[in-house]
Structure 1
Amino acid sequence: MSTAAVKRNRQRLQKLRELRPSTVLATVALIIVSAIVLLPIVIIVLTAFKPVAEVNAYPPSLLPDAWTLDNLKTVTSELPFLRLVGNSFVFAGGVTAFALVFDSLAAYALARMDFKGRKVLLIAIIATLMIPFQATLIPLYQLVADLGWVNTYTGLIAPRAADAFGIFFLRQFFLALPRDIDAAARIDGAGEFRIFRSIVLPNAVPALLTLGLFTFVNNWNDLLWPLVFTTDAEMGTITSGLTLLTGPSGIVPHGVMMAGSLIAILPLVIAFLFIQRRFIENIATTGLK
Structure 2
Amino acid sequence: MNKVLTYVLLALAAASFLYPFVWMISASLSSEAGLGDLRLLPVEPTLANYRTVLERIPLGRAFLNSVFVVTVTTTLVLILGAMVGYALARLEFRGKQLLFFAIIFTMTLPFQITLIPNYITMVRLGWVDTYLALIVPFVMNSFAILLFRQAFMGLPQALIDAARMDGAGELRIIFQILVPNILPTVVTITILTFMGIWNDALWPLIVVRDESTMTMPQLVTLFSVGGRADSQLAVKIAAAVMLAVPVIILYLFFQKHFIRSMASSGLKD
For 1:139, the equivalent position in structure 2 comes to 117
Greater C-alpha Rg:
1
Unmatched tracts of structure 2, length 5 or more: none
Q: Could you tell me whether the CA contact under 8 Å between 1:50 and 1:255 is conserved in 2?
A: yes
The whole-number CA distance in structure 2 between the counterparts of 1:123 and 1:242 is: 38
For 2:34, the equivalent position in structure 1 comes to 54
Q: Could you tell me whether the CA contact under 8 Å between 2:150 and 2:265 is conserved in 1?
A: no
Matched, 1:36 2:13: no
For 1:24, the equivalent position in structure 2 comes to 4
Among 166, 176, 184, the residue aligned to 2:162: 184
1:278, distance to aligned residue in structure 2 (A)? 2.2
1:249, distance to aligned residue in structure 2 (A)? 11
For 2:48, the equivalent position in structure 1 comes to 70
The whole-number CA distance in structure 1 between the counterparts of 2:32 and 2:4 is: 42
For 1:14, the equivalent position in structure 2 comes to none
- Report SS of the residue matched to 1:204: helix
After superposition, the C-alpha distances for 1:218-252 in whole angstroms (9 at most, x for unaligned) are: 11111101111111122111111112323659964
- Report SS of the residue matched to 1:130: coil
Query: Structure 2 vs 1, CA of residues 200 and 52 (structure 1 numbering), >3 Å: closer, same or farther?
Result: same
TM-score (norm 2): 0.92
- Report SS of the residue matched to 1:154: helix
For 1:149, the equivalent position in structure 2 comes to 127
Unmatched tracts of structure 1, length 5 or more: 1-20
Matched, 1:161 2:139: yes
The percentage of aligned residue pairs carrying the same residue is: 38
The whole-number CA distance in structure 1 between the counterparts of 2:267 and 2:113 is: 38
For 2:182, the equivalent position in structure 1 comes to 204
Among 224, 227, 232, the residue aligned to 1:253: 232
1:113, distance to aligned residue in structure 2 (A)? 0.7
- Report SS of the residue matched to 1:39: helix
Matched, 1:286 2:269: no
Matched, 1:122 2:122: no
The whole-number CA distance in structure 2 between the counterparts of 1:271 and 1:284 is: 19
Q: Could you tell me whether the CA contact under 8 Å between 1:48 and 1:262 is conserved in 2?
A: yes
Q: Could you tell me whether the CA contact under 8 Å between 1:206 and 1:281 is conserved in 2?
A: yes
For 1:42, the aligned partner's letter is V
TM-score (norm 1): 0.86
After superposition, the C-alpha distances for 1:166-201 in whole angstroms (9 at most, x for unaligned) are: 111111111111111112222333332222122111
For 1:30, the aligned partner's letter is L
Among 81, 89, 94, the residue aligned to 2:59: 81
The whole-number CA distance in structure 2 between the counterparts of 1:263 and 1:150 is: 27
Equivalent residue pairs, number: 266
Q: Could you tell me whether the CA contact under 8 Å between 2:25 and 2:241 is conserved in 1?
A: yes
The whole-number CA distance in structure 1 between the counterparts of 2:113 and 2:267 is: 38
Q: Could you tell me whether the CA contact under 8 Å between 1:247 and 1:253 is conserved in 2?
A: no
Q: Could you tell me whether the CA contact under 8 Å between 1:110 and 1:171 is conserved in 2?
A: yes
After superposition, the C-alpha distances for 1:14-52 in whole angstroms (9 at most, x for unaligned) are: xxxxxxx11101111111001000011011101101111
Matched, 1:223 2:209: no
- Further displaced range: 118-127 or 191-200: 191-200
Q: Could you tell me whether the CA contact under 8 Å between 1:87 and 1:237 is conserved in 2?
A: yes
The whole-number CA distance in structure 1 between the counterparts of 2:38 and 2:103 is: 49
The whole-number CA distance in structure 1 between the counterparts of 2:126 and 2:68 is: 19
Query: Structure 2 vs 1, CA of residues 232 and 257 (structure 1 numbering), >3 Å: closer, same or farther?
Result: same
What's the RMSD between the two structures over aligned residues?
A: 2.0
Among 250, 255, 265, the residue aligned to 1:271: 250
The whole-number CA distance in structure 1 between the counterparts of 2:267 and 2:74 is: 27
Q: Could you tell me whether the CA contact under 8 Å between 2:201 and 2:218 is conserved in 1?
A: yes
The whole-number CA distance in structure 2 between the counterparts of 1:153 and 1:247 is: 23
The whole-number CA distance in structure 1 between the counterparts of 2:2 and 2:233 is: 42
**After the TM superposition, which segments of 4 or more aligned residues of structure 1 sit over 3 Å from their partners?**
246-252, 283-289
For 1:23, the aligned partner's letter is K
- Further displaced range: 271-280 or 229-238: 271-280
